[in-house]
Structure 1
Amino acid sequence: MATRLGLGLPQMRQYDIGKDVPDVARAAERIGYDSLWVFERALFPEPATQGLYGIEGLPWPDEYRNVAEPLVTLALAAAATERAELGTSVLVAPLHVPFQLARTLASLDAASGGRVVAGFGTGWSHDEYAAASVRPFAERGQALDELIGVCRAVWGPDPVTYDGHLTKIASAVVGPKPARPIPVLLAAGSGAARRRLVDHADGWLPVGMGAEAVAGQWRSLRELAAERGRTRPIRTVLRVNARHRAATVDGERGPFHGSVDQIVDDLAAHAEVGLDEILIDLQGTPRDAEELKDVAAEVYEKARAAGI
């Protein structure tokens, strides 16, 4: 069975969000992409107080200076499409009030006919936590636990009840309900995060940093699931942050950095890992939406031609 392919929606400053998001979403659906995705970056600290991913000395990409709000972006795409799933990879869970986020996702799923995929992570930026978080950075795991619990409660049957650290619902009718149970996927890297995924989530959102590394992580996660008695399958969506170049990149290059043919070669290697879906985010390097659509079409056609 062919690997499902998704496309990252345009959220960065070179795009006209109101015009380009619906345009790219419609084009992606016509091309054949199975899903459309957004990510979250709330701010760009200047001067930098912390490296990218919390790694000292690693600079934040310049594209992160201006990233459109993910759920607004996804709503624009929902209104312009009919078939493609609509996913978040990822929402930084502790930057959101759990009850409000649960309601927003439910409304978006109802409006789109059951196409939302909720991908959550705990984030890593202390600056974003200082500006927006509902819990301190040290409590990010507990914040994610509560968010998942609140979502399950709000999306479930009425009357809704929940007794958490932030969220207290004594007994209430909460609507609209999602069109179907919204799958919850987690970007789980650490041991505690992986246990949370196995016990409480529907799937996993790894990042494409090399096929061997992803294969090792996937093997470890399946082993943990077996140890903890999980029998239902774990849905997998690999995020690929591609940096397209018109010409072939010679010598050393990062995964998914280079020409369309080089990106497709890397897609083929990662598809061998056996994951369900690959999300290809190409938006960082194109000059505008027209270039993004052209590159997305070429990547899709060559990936399918390569048997992906």
Structure 2
Amino acid sequence: MAIRLGLGLPQMRQYDIGRDVPDVARAAEETGYESLWVFERILFPEPASQGLYGIPGLPWPDAYRSVADPLVTLALATAATRRARLGTSVLVAPLHIPFQLARALASLDAASGGRVVAGFGTGWSLDEYAAASVAPFEQRGKVLDELIDVCHAVWGPDPVAYEGEWTTIAPSVVGPKPKRPIPILLPANSPRALRRLVDRADGWMPVGMGAEALATQWQRLQDLAAERGRKEPVAGVLRVNAQHTAKPYEGRDRKPFQGGVEQIVADLAAHAAVGPEEILIDLQGGTRDAEELKDVAAEVYTAARAAGL
């Protein structure tokens, strides 16, 4: 069975969001992509109080200077498509009021006919937390736990009632409801996050940083799932941030998913062999405009299927 392929929607500043998001979403669905994805970045601090991903000295990419709101982007894609699943990879949970986010995702799922996939994370940017978080950075794991609880409550039968540290819902009717249970995916970069994933989530959302590293992480996750008695299989949706170049990358320092279409597809094949059910390919950072993004996305999709993926 062929692996499912998804595409990242255009959210960065080189795109016209109102025009390009529906255009790219329609084209991707027609090409054969089975899912469409958004990510979240809310500001670009100058100067930043920390490096990218919290790594000292690592600069933020210039493309992060303007990133369209993920839920607005998904709403545009919802109206332009009919089949493709619509996913978040990922929403930074503590930057959202749990009840309001749960309702927004339920409305999107109802509007799309049951196509939403909710990827949640805890984030890493201290500047984003200072601007918008519902709790201090040190409590980010607790906020994510409460968000998951609130989502299950809001998406479940009425009357909805919940009492947590940041959220209190008196017994209430809350609608619309999702068309079906919305899958929750989590990344996992620590032992505590791995336990949360195994115990509370439907699937795993790692980032493609090399097939060998992915295989090690995947085995660790499977071992923990067995140890904790999980009955359901852990679905895997791999996020790939690709940097497409017109010609093959010839340097010895080539990173995974950097280079020409053949190089990107070879990396896709190596990562697919590890076992994820789906790979999300985000190409938007390396393309000039929507036309180039559509062309490169179609070329990658065609080459991947020709290679047996």
Report TM bin, short chain. Answer: over 0.9
Pair 1:292-2:293 in alignment = yes
**Structure 1 counterpart SS, 2:284:** coil
Pair 1:58-2:58 in alignment = yes
Partner of 2:188: 188
> Number of paired residues?
308
Instruction: For residue 68 of structure 1, report the CA deviation from its aligned partner.
Output: 0.3
**Mapping 1:1-308, distance limit 5 Å:** 1-251=1-251, 252-308=253-309
User: 2:276 & 2:287 partners in 1: Cα distance?
Assistant: 27
What letter is aligned with 2:258? H
User: 1:156 & 1:233 partners in 2: Cα distance?
Assistant: 23
What letter is aligned with 1:301? T
Over the residues paired in the alignment, what is the CA RMSD in angstroms? 0.5
**Structure 2 counterpart SS, 1:86:** strand
Instruction: For residue 267 of structure 1, report the CA deviation from its aligned partner.
Output: 0.4
User: 1:260 & 1:43 partners in 2: Cα distance?
Assistant: 31
Deviation digits for residues 202-223 of structure 1 (CA, Å, limit 9, x no counterpart): 0110000000001110110010
User: 1:49 & 1:145 partners in 2: Cα distance?
Assistant: 27
User: 1:76 & 1:17 partners in 2: Cα distance?
Assistant: 9
Deviation digits for residues 161-213 of structure 1 (CA, Å, limit 9, x no counterpart): 11101111121110000000000000111000010011111011000000000
Deviation digits for residues 12-32 of structure 1 (CA, Å, limit 9, x no counterpart): 000000000000000000000
Checking the alignment, whether the CA contact within 8 Å between 2:242 and 2:258 is kept in structure 1 is: yes
User: 2:234 & 2:173 partners in 1: Cα distance?
Assistant: 31
User: 1:93 & 1:215 partners in 2: Cα distance?
Assistant: 27
Deviation digits for residues 135-163 of structure 1 (CA, Å, limit 9, x no counterpart): 10000000000000000000000111111
Superposition TM-score, scaled by structure 1 size: 0.99
User: 1:272 & 1:283 partners in 2: Cα distance?
Assistant: 25
**Structure 2 counterpart SS, 1:284:** helix
**Structure 2 counterpart SS, 1:114:** coil
User: 1:158 & 1:234 partners in 2: Cα distance?
Assistant: 29
User: 2:188 & 2:43 partners in 1: Cα distance?
Assistant: 23
Instruction: For residue 133 of structure 1, report the CA deviation from its aligned partner.
Output: 0.2
What letter is aligned with 1:31? T
Q: Which stretches of structure 1, 4 residues or longer, exceed 4 Å deviation after superposition?
A: none
Structure 1 alignment gaps of length 5 or more: none
What letter is aligned with 1:200? R
Superposition TM-score, scaled by structure 2 size: 0.99
User: 1:131 & 1:187 partners in 2: Cα distance?
Assistant: 23
**Structure 2 counterpart SS, 1:275:** coil
Structure 2 alignment gaps of length 5 or more: none
What letter is aligned with 1:296? A
Checking the alignment, whether the CA contact within 8 Å between 2:106 and 2:155 is kept in structure 1 is: yes
What letter is aligned with 1:307? G
Checking the alignment, whether the CA contact within 8 Å between 2:283 and 2:297 is kept in structure 1 is: yes
User: 2:118 & 2:16 partners in 1: Cα distance?
Assistant: 25
Instruction: For residue 90 of structure 1, report the CA deviation from its aligned partner.
Output: 0.2
What letter is aligned with 2:77? A
